[in-house]
Structure 1
Amino acid sequence: MKLCVLATGDSVYRYYKSIVIPFEQPRKVSSTAIVNGGYREDLTAVFNNDCNPGAGMECTMRAPTYQEHMRIITEEIGLDPATTAGMGTAASMENVAIHTECYQNLTVTAIVTGGIEVNGGRVGDPADYFKPIAKSTLEKPGTINIILVIDADLPPGILNRAMVTCTEAKTAALQELMAGSNYSTGLATGSGTDQTIVVANPASPLYLESAGKHSKLGELIGRTVLPAVKEALGKQTGLSPRQQHSMLRRFKRYGILEENLWQAYAGNTGKAVIKPKFLDVLHQIDSDNYLVTYAALYVHLLDELQWELLSGIEVRQAANELLTAAATKYGVEAPVIIGTCIDSCLKAWQSVLLTIIREKCREL
């Protein structure tokens, strides 16, 4: 299936669980691809492949090494393994997002698939993978894969600079969605397996030597990649402003989870407790406008404390005011934070939340 024709004259196809771009002419390509990655001028095609065999099934390699696995995939989709760079992901190619922006005779297109629910993380998070040899299975699914096509000629260094700007745009999209890391209390900056391919057109009469944020090229990269990443994440896993309008999702990275709340509630309730009733009330208030607003402000206070932008005393004072506002809204008594650490703040929020749920359960 042909999805579109790029300004470079190359067509974008979707078939065999892949997004494929065969080149009509020589292109300059810079990529993070395991096979034929880095800077190349001899490639004949690039692709993005969905390695997911099916719902609930593990993504496994078709060969002893990832490089051999990708070569097999390349041949199966009818491309030359010697002159093709490809990326793998567990995201569906049906959920691809394609955004194009133009300025005068410059056209930039971002082709994105992605998901970060499983392995979204923040740069610098604790990691345990350190193997200089091939892995027996593919990385965890959830990669944000980007093919960025620029209809202009760029020198190699600027092609790499375009990849940096592209990466900044991806991270900006995740920041705007307040997507949390699965490995720390921080906000995600990407997934652990993100990949990018940047393509430039040496046949274009337009020659550019800047791809940073001060250049029009940099602006167009941001204006294509940022919305494309958001759209792809929304299609793949539902990650969107609407989904993020949730008290639980805002607190997830700080460990306030549905099951943890239930365990704390059940452990402090003297009479018989019905879990379905508890969860029903929790889900009812989870998206309440006031509670989500207070939660968003409260979590940001914890971030500011971690980043050392606010002191513990400042955070405690503001957090106590938010607790009072939330408690007053629901007609319950607010706990008072005594300490100046994150743990003290989290215990206080959990306390007021459980009190609200307890009162709601009594009303039913």
Structure 2
Amino acid sequence: MEEQKQMELARLTTGDIAYRYDKSIVLVFSGPRKVLSTSLYNGGYHEDFEAVFNRDMTQGSGMPCESFAPTYVESMKIVAERLGLAPELTSGMGTAAHMENASIVSRSYKELTVTAIVTGGVETNGGRVGDPASYYKTAEKKCGTINIMLVIDADLPPGILARALVTCTEAKTAALQELMAPSRYSTGLATGSGTDQTIVVANSESPLFFEGAGKHSKLGELIGLAVMAAVKEALKRQSGLTPAQQHDLLRRLRRFGVTEEALWQRYREEAGADPLIKAQFITALEKVTAVPALFPLGVLFIHLYDEYLWGLLEKEETWEAAETLLKEMAEVLFLSLKESVSMQDDYMKSMEHLLVYAVIERGRETLGETASKETHADVGA
């Protein structure tokens, strides 16, 4: 009994218990449940399940997800057996996220409680719906990334359980949007990962019965609040994705190919005599982009381009407004407007030019300040 208590993560208002063991989170039902699962393994709608699970399928850094059989379904059946579950009476999800980083969030209103159990990360697999696909094989299955178990302590008809799944997905996407999580496959913002999975559970024994789970219903509101909070917390634990981490201009620019490496290559072309070595360049670049007033202007520059790509702004008005922002950024960095601001046909090349020019003009000065501070610190010691 003591060992079981150590594995116990949470007791839900439904009476169900979430356990963590063998790289998995297992939700054991205390009675009849309606389950809707997006998993390839026993997915779809069921009323006879005894449990559902989420398993970390990683083997180690840089290694592929582990598999116990030739197919995903067969592999998950073996996982279910290892977890002590009846394979035909459960559904499970595989993921590359660690169970120690799971987030459990409940939201309540009067007698109604909704609980979201989430694992997730989008650093390597975040994508935007409509991004170019990587395969057309109906049997291929990768490890899931943002996996959600959503437990509703109320009874729902099957159709409303499906509507709850839609609301849950909207909430996940809203959380990613508020974090400005980038797609890894396009210049867009992520709406999820390429392999997300969700299991929604309703309590068939509950005296509460709802016929709506959309945004106008209280149930829909609770689903949104619980899932958004749990997704954000899981991403923070697994990937370190937080508002503070996203308050970084270089991170925000990466989805457009404006990376440290791209800027370094451009610097090598434009630096002229006595260039900085790469380590010095990156240090100087980080100091330039850390100027407090630069970040909000840079974010506005990026968002202008997003609106242009979405068809909400015309090119002429976008480029004109962007040039105004570049001039403000140049002033913040005390740069010559004539030399630093060059609005090019390739929108992001204009930002590259500004940042590289700033390093050329301020790089030695910035590095000199750093060296001076380090020298004074050594003398003081």
**Could you tell me the TM-score, scaled by structure 1's length?**
0.95
Using the TM superposition, give the Cα deviation of residue 57 of structure 1 relative to its aligned residue in structure 2, in angstroms.
2.1
**Separation of aligned partners in 2, 1:6 and 1:66:** 30
Match of 1:288 in 2: 291
CA distance 1:286–1:70, shift in 2 (3 Å): farther
**Separation of aligned partners in 1, 2:9 and 2:223:** 20
Aligned match for 1:221, one of 216, 220, 223: 223
Q: CA RMSD in A?
A: 1.3
Match of 2:77 in 1: 71
For residues 330-359 of structure 1, give each alpha carbon's deviation from its aligned partner in whole angstroms, at most 9, with x where no partner exists: 1112344555x5x2x211111011111112
- The answer (yes or no) to whether the contact 2:26–2:53 under 8 Å persists in 1 is yes
Aligned match for 2:282, one of 261, 275, 279: 279
For residues 27-77 of structure 1, give each alpha carbon's deviation from its aligned partner in whole angstroms, at most 9, with x where no partner exists: 000010111110100111000000011223221322110111111111111
Match of 2:3 in 1: none
Q: Kindly name which structure, 1 or 2, has the bigger radius of gyration based on alpha carbons.
A: 2
Aligned match for 1:81, one of 67, 87, 97: 87
Aligned match for 2:135, one of 129, 138, 145: 129
Q: Which amino acid aligns with 2:228?
A: L
Question: 267-276 or 313-322, which moves further after superposition?
Answer: 267-276
Which of structure 1's runs of 4+ aligned residues deviate more than 4 A? 335-339
**Separation of aligned partners in 1, 2:12 and 2:328:** 53
Any unmatched runs of 5+ in structure 1?
Answer: none
CA distance 1:45–1:287, shift in 2 (3 Å): farther
**Separation of aligned partners in 2, 1:123 and 1:288:** 34
- The answer (yes or no) to whether the contact 2:342–2:353 under 8 Å persists in 1 is no
**Separation of aligned partners in 2, 1:303 and 1:157:** 36
Question: 353-362 or 107-116, which moves further after superposition?
Answer: 353-362
CA distance 1:143–1:325, shift in 2 (3 Å): same
Match of 2:371 in 1: none
Does 2:70 correspond to 1:43?
no
Aligned match for 1:62, one of 51, 68, 72: 68
Any unmatched runs of 5+ in structure 2?
Answer: 1-6, 369-381
Correspondence list, 1:200-219, <5 A = 200-219=202-221
**Separation of aligned partners in 1, 2:282 and 2:341:** 26
Could you tell me the percent identity over the aligned residues?
57
Match of 2:259 in 1: 257
Aligned match for 1:29, one of 27, 35, 52: 35
Match of 1:327 in 2: 330
- The answer (yes or no) to whether the contact 1:298–1:319 under 8 Å persists in 2 is yes
Structure 2 residue matching 1:270: 3-state secondary structure? coil
CA distance 1:177–1:283, shift in 2 (3 Å): same
- The answer (yes or no) to whether the contact 1:316–1:337 under 8 Å persists in 2 is no
Aligned length: 357
Using the TM superposition, give the Cα deviation of residue 156 of structure 1 relative to its aligned residue in structure 2, in angstroms.
0.1
- The answer (yes or no) to whether the contact 1:42–1:83 under 8 Å persists in 2 is yes
Q: Which amino acid aligns with 1:75?
A: E
Match of 1:310 in 2: 313
**Separation of aligned partners in 1, 2:138 and 2:9:** 38
Aligned match for 1:101, one of 88, 92, 107: 107
**Separation of aligned partners in 2, 1:227 and 1:72:** 32
- The answer (yes or no) to whether the contact 2:106–2:114 under 8 Å persists in 1 is yes
Q: Which amino acid aligns with 2:101?
A: N
Q: Which amino acid aligns with 1:14?
A: R
For residues 121-156 of structure 1, give each alpha carbon's deviation from its aligned partner in whole angstroms, at most 9, with x where no partner exists: 0000001211123x4xx62x6610000000000000
Does 2:357 correspond to 1:355?
yes
**Separation of aligned partners in 2, 1:223 and 1:145:** 17
- The answer (yes or no) to whether the contact 1:74–1:81 under 8 Å persists in 2 is yes
- The answer (yes or no) to whether the contact 1:119–1:142 under 8 Å persists in 2 is no
Match of 1:17 in 2: 23
**Separation of aligned partners in 2, 1:53 and 1:206:** 43
